[in-house]
């Protein structure tokens, strides 16, 4: 059906370009919501309590607070160097989880302060296995000897 207007004949149905644009934005927004939901679900799983009654985030906070007096300025600067390859928006979260692992290792070894050895060991054990290749590249690029910790990378 066509409608007569002052500009000429117009169709009563929308154009295919308009419909394709609507379909494109629908799929784009749906994809973004799925990606956001995935990350929200992962965060939700970290907050759920484990068998001991504490969540993964509770344990991270516990180890960070308990090891806070052990951190020297040199160890903090080395931790900042280790988290440099992490993208900016995720750097604080990565730094916190790596610091928790380093603190746990230092406390369990009854250390009086966090050393470079603790930092490297904690950095390797806190990094997911899927990122081991990038971790090795970063350590080699910065001339950090990780040979005593190769067993942690497997």
Q: What is the mean pLDDT of the chain?
A: 86
Please enumerate in sequence order all residues whose Cβ is within 8 A of that of 118, keeping only pairs 6 or more positions apart, or say none.
75, 102, 105, 106, 109, 111
Q: Report, as an integer, the average pLDDT of 129-136.
A: 82
Answer for the pair 67, 107: CB distance below 8 angstroms, yes or no. yes
- Alpha carbons 116 and 104: distance in angstroms, whole number: 14
Q: pLDDT tens digits for 12-36?
A: 777 889 999 999 999 999 999 999 9
Q: Which residues pair with 5 in a beta bridge?
A: 8
Pull the structure tokens for residue 112: 């009086």
Q: Is 70 helix (H, G, I), strand (E, B) or coil?
A: helix
Taking the alpha carbons at both ends of the chain, their separation in whole angstroms is 69
Pull the structure tokens for residue 51: 């068998």
The answer, yes or no, to whether residue 9 has pLDDT greater than 90, is no
Q: pLDDT tens digits for 65-111?
A: 999 999 999 999 999 988 888 888 888 988 999 999 999 999 999 88
pLDDT of 4: 56
- Alpha carbons 82 and 89: distance in angstroms, whole number: 16
- Alpha carbons 78 and 102: distance in angstroms, whole number: 12
Q: Where are the domains of the chain?
A: 15-48, 56-152
């Amino acid at each position: 059906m066509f409608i007569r207007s002052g500009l000429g004949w117009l169709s009563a149905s929308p154009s295919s370009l308009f419909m394709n644009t609507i379909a494109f934005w629908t799929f784009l927004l749906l994809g973004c919501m799925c990606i956001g939901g995935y990350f929200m679900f992962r965060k939700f799983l970290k907050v759920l309590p484990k068998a001991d009654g504490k969540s993964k985030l509770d344990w991270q906070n516990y180890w960070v607070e308990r090891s806070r007096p052990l951190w020297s300025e040199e160890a903090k600067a080395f931790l900042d160097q280790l988290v440099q390859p992490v993208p900016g928006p995720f750097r604080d979260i990565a730094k916190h989880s790596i610091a928790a692992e380093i603190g746990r290792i230092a406390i369990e070894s009854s250390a009086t302060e966090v050393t470079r050895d603790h930092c490297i060991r904690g950095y390797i054990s806190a990094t997911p296995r899927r990122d081991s290749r990038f971790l090795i590249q970063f350590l080699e690029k910065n001339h950090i000897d990780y040979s005593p910790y190769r067993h942690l990378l497997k």
